[in-house]
Structure 1
């Protein structure tokens, strides 16, 4: 009977909550770095009457009667024959240094003006430059040379992007008295508190997004719009949030204060207490020694990584019972940093990050519904029978790079984790596979341990395991017991790289699609090496002891799906003959 090979791909991850994509983006990409072009209203270039050629500036495109697109033409002078009917004008990515008032004043119908990425300075921008643009809704002037903001912007404005300039001063009517204004982007400028007047946003009661990140602010600006929903203040010099500075922002949902100089003295119990809609609070990369007081009960994500927190007090978390993500990585939490049960009231906690602290054991009495526990690079040396008993719903457990030894991992340590899908024990001191692994596991990572033997018993029942990493251990083929792979019926990825294997292990799992054997001592691949793996698609044999004829001509004949054979870094160029059924003919060397 023919073997059915499953679709090639990674194990299905468990579905994250609504905040996971935003959380990962902020963790790995860092602070906001691009202007808010998501609000742009440049029209869809669908079917519409086009301007006659004479009405469109040279080299520009006019796909609609109300649209002029002069993007990226290296223009140094503002075009002088733009139609008065233009509502959408793009001049981004050019070399413009100034905006002539007489040309702009003609374009009274403009709704969108895109000047992003030019060389426009404040000297090249007349005070009355936008006075006649009474219908303008979107203005984009990011990445120019402005040293001060325009003194006047139209009352009709909805989106203003002045990010990535050199601005040191904002005027009262730059953003004030704009009842329709929704989004203001001022990040990556040189604004300090003196450059922001107290009435900078007076009369603009609809602003939902304000980005002031990557400036030189030393304290939270006063008189922020009460309508704010997202406030970006990361990468400043903020050491204090004045009392009452956030008392009116009851609609604020996201607050970003990471990469500042906040200490416990810069916050008080009322700092966040009035933020009745706050869901996301990022205080990472500051100098906090404790969890802030007065956190709002609506909070879903609390990011406190890279501070100096030594102990988490239960009283500080009582109000945030609905918290979904708590990030405490790279703090100074030691053996008494998380007292037993301190996190138990967080009944909805989904993810707990404790990477890079000084914990010597898994925190006890964690919330029962915890889905993901991330605890690598601590000092955990033992796992008892009941250390993880309080989290039966755990789906992902990462204990990589701790101090776990096989003798101190109880055979029932994972017994209650029936929902566990991913277990990472890399970088410990294990000499044997742990016993009692949950049968629902799909990914098991044991690389960089001291494994010297593989036996069938620890892997028994792992019929859903799809990925197994055993790289960088001390395994030899003789150390792999007969029947070790027998029950791994779903295994697709097996990594045995950087061990001490002298040939391809026999009786490999039938569903295997990706096999890593690089960095071993393999000098010969016989015709029977892959008889048990008809689904194999990728084979990595680089940096072994192979010579030109080390791989038998028949070795890959039964592998119709094989597409990658990597034999680079061996003593000689290796002759590789892929199966006749593949689109490629016989090949020599790694592929």
Structure 2
């Protein structure tokens, strides 16, 4: 019996040892990877940078929830993807426009942008620098505190209440209510003191000691009776001793004044009314039409069923809003009573060019902003004030801009003429010449077939989307040395119709959007100052070698989503010149079967999208370089919707990435 038991024990020991040896290698590899990841991600810098990146993602873009698989294939987690593609034509709004934006963990933050990477931290982008400030909490002088959900500072907890969440659900009085209660308490106390003082005055007049003074020494009573008078008491005594022989009308007036004075002394002017008062129309302004309102120096008649501009005489008004009415004409005398207007909004009416008087805007010597979107204009109104800084005539039927249309507008900085019938045939080449200060020009949704000629030298941002532009000539941007952003999406441009000298010598051009054109490969001779290149929705099959090699300081954002890129169209020299600078590379929704070469050499890369391709496997050296021991800068790697068998991925394939949650692998296609 003992021999049998000993035999079974030895047999069990052999089986357990053999089973452990079979899994020893994989377990050691997983344990090695786990502790390596722990060491690399344990520093405060790594943790804070990951948290900052995730918070910024939630601020900038709506997140889509996607499943995520761990490298040990044991559990599944949830991760928020960087961008969500609503359809085939994804919309990328990545052009910063102006200099001075900040880069915080790969995210573009505009100048003066404010965001909160953590609940108690606020960051500001100030001319390229990120300045963060932590919220300081005041110490609470109470035995127990509680931090409400979504707040960063604790508040005192009511220990007498048994319900733990009662503090969170208790409705706190507003500051106005607290102020009203305090003032009311002070008012009652003051009234009580006034009654006592009136009794003292009456006793002094009648020389009768107060009941409370019986038995007191005379000198003490004299000290009380001879005390200083309270502020405003002399005025009230004067009213109490006024001449009784006055006429009744004077007495009534004095009583009213007495009441007003008493109210002022008692502090009733600070008392909150039970209902908010309706602001009265200032003197000099005739009664406003129904459904119109007055706020400070602005008259608003939005969707008020007006058929004409109401007659107003109000020199103090600086803003007039007549949006969404049925106004058809603007006579010469329409704004004679509003000489100080600075902003005039006439959008969404039925105003025609023939209905505008030749001197309708002439007397508005201070007008800076004019909005006439959504009307029936066929020409720009004449004799516009030279003080204009912003002019919007979008969604009209403009059919001509001649040499005199924009004359004398030398202070105009913003001009928007989208959604009209403009083309190179009805826009004079000298039309924009008077605009010496123009920096922002929108001509989208028109009928241009070439870049408009005669653009002012001051132009910085040019938007020509949804036109019929087919080529970009060498003279298109000859005089625009300050231009920073060019948007040409939804046109008919082919790469061989872009002249080699069209924009290569531009020194300030940082952003170009050529999405949804007819490009078959990435254009050559791009500006050497380029930072953002958007080529979404073309027919691009190839990225030529050294196409980014001449750029300084180097391309940072390259978007090639929704194209026809194949493995043979990308080689090691395709990204030459951008390895040190590229931060975001979007190659999703293409026809790639493997990871493009050169990814491990991209030292600044934060976001890589390879989802929705035909990738089947991931080799260990395709994303992480085993020879380098440092962490990768990659924060988001998307590989979902390919044909990858996640269980066959090498455990070292993503060893350089800081966090497993940065890798999105699911779902995968089954084929």
Q: Same fold (TM over 0.5)?
A: yes
Q: Could you tell me which of 282, 292, 298 is aligned with 1:209?
A: 298
1:312 aligns with 2:401: yes
| The one of 268, 278, 281 aligned to 1:175 | 281
User: Match of 1:514?
Assistant: 607
Separation of aligned partners in 2, 1:559 and 1:113: 62
Tell me the equivalent position of 1:478: 568
Higher relative contact order (CA 8 A, sep 6+): 2
1:224-235 superposed matches below 5 A: 224-235=313-324
Q: 1:527 to 1:66 in 2, by over 3 A?
A: closer
Counterpart-to-counterpart distance in 1, 2:185 and 2:322: 40
**Equivalent residue, structure 1, for 2:655:** 557
> Could you tell me how far apart the structure 2 residues matched to 1:176 and 1:250 are?
17
Match of 2:589 in 1: 498
Aligned counterparts of 2:400 and 2:509: Cα–Cα separation in 1: 28
What is the CA deviation profile of residues 510-563 of structure 1, one whole-angstrom value per residue up to 9, with x for unaligned ones?
A: 211001111110111221121268110001122211233253221111112664
The answer to whether the 8 Å contact 2:313/2:336 transfers is no
Per-residue CA deviations over 1:83-132 (Å, capped at 9, x if unaligned) read: 8969xxxxxxxxxxxxxxxxxxxx974676586xxxxxxxxxxxxxxxxx
Structure 2 Cα separation of the partners of residues 238 and 349 of structure 1: 30
2:519 to 404, 424, 430: 430
Is 1:67 aligned to 2:179, yes or no? yes
Work out whether residues 252 and 275 of structure 1, in 8 Å CA contact, stay in contact via their aligned partners in 2. Answer: yes
Mapping 1:78-117, distance limit 5 Å = 109=269
Are 2:371 and 1:371 aligned?
A: no
Q: Which residues in structure 2 correspond to 1:150-229 (within 5 Å)?
A: 160=279, 174-177=280-283, 208-229=297-318
Contact kept, 8 Å, 1:11 with 1:466, in 2: the verdict is: no
Q: 1:259, 1:285 within 8 Å by CA — same for their partners in 2?
A: yes
Deviations 1:279-314 (A, max 9, x none): 111100111111111111110110000000011122
- Is residue 540 of structure 2 the alignment partner of residue 451 of structure 1? yes
Aligned to 2:217: none
- Cα RMSD of the aligned pairs, angstroms, is 3.6
Q: Residues 594 and 614 of structure 2 are in contact (CA less than 8 Å); yes or no, is this contact kept in structure 1?
A: yes
Q: 1:59 to 1:383 in 2, by over 3 A?
A: closer
Shift of 1:492: 0.7
Aligned to 2:620: 527
Match of 2:644 among 546, 549, 556: 546
2:404 aligns to what SS in structure 1? helix
| In 1: Cα distance, 2:646 partner to 2:560 partner | 28
Q: 1:467 to 1:59 in 2, by over 3 A?
A: closer
Match of 1:465 among 536, 539, 555: 555
Counterpart secondary structure, 1:67: helix
Structure 2, gaps ≥5 residues long: 1-39, 57-93, 102-109, 111-137, 139-169, 189-266, 626-630
CA distance in 1, matches of 2:649, 2:598: 18
Give distance in 2, aligned partners of 1:213 and 1:255. Answer: 12
Matched length: 432
Whole-Å Cα distance in 2 between the matches of residues 439 and 430 of structure 1?
A: 20
After superposition, give the CA deviation of every residue in 1:47-86 in whole Å (9 maximum; x if it has no partner): xxxxxxxxxxx988364687359xxxxxxxxxxxx88969
For residue 647 of structure 2, give the secondary structure of its aligned residue in structure 1: coil
1:198-277 → structure 2 map (5 Å cutoff): 208-277=297-366
Whichever of the two has the greater Rg, that structure is 2
For residue 12 of structure 1, report the CA deviation from its aligned partner.
6.3
Query: After the TM superposition, which of the residue ranges 314-323 and 564-573 deviates more from structure 2?
Result: 564-573
**For residues 497 and 64 of structure 1, do their structure 2 counterparts lie closer, same or farther at Cα, with a shift above 3 Å needed?**
closer
The answer to whether the 8 Å contact 1:339/1:363 transfers is no
Change (3 A) 1:84 1:362: farther
Shift in CA distance, 365/11, structure 1 to aligned 2, threshold 3 Å: closer
Query: Residues 284-433 of structure 1 correspond to what in structure 2 (within 5 A)?
Result: 284-433=373-522
1:114-125 aligned within 5 A? none
The answer (yes or no) to whether the contact 1:381–1:405 under 8 Å persists in 2 is: yes
Structure 2 CA distance for partners of 1:249 and 1:177, relative to 1, 3 Å:
closer
Q: 1:429 to 1:65 in 2, by over 3 A?
A: closer
Relative distance call for 1:67 and 1:269 in structure 2 (3 A) is: farther
| TM-superposed deviation, 1:365 | 1.6
Please give the TM-score of this superposition, normalised by the length of structure 2.
Answer: 0.59
Aligned 1:32-43 pairs, distance under 5 A: none
Secondary structure of the structure 2 residue equivalent to 1:265: helix
Shift of 1:316: 2.0
Cα 1:83–1:256, aligned 2, differ >3 Å: closer, same or farther?
A: farther
**Corresponding residue of 2:142:** none
Q: Note the residue ranges of structure 1 that are not aligned, 5 or more in a row.
A: 22-45, 47-57, 70-81, 87-106, 116-137, 140-152, 154-159, 161-173, 574-591
Report the 3-state secondary structure (helix = DSSP H, G, I; strand = E; otherwise coil) of the residue aligned with 2:391. Answer: strand
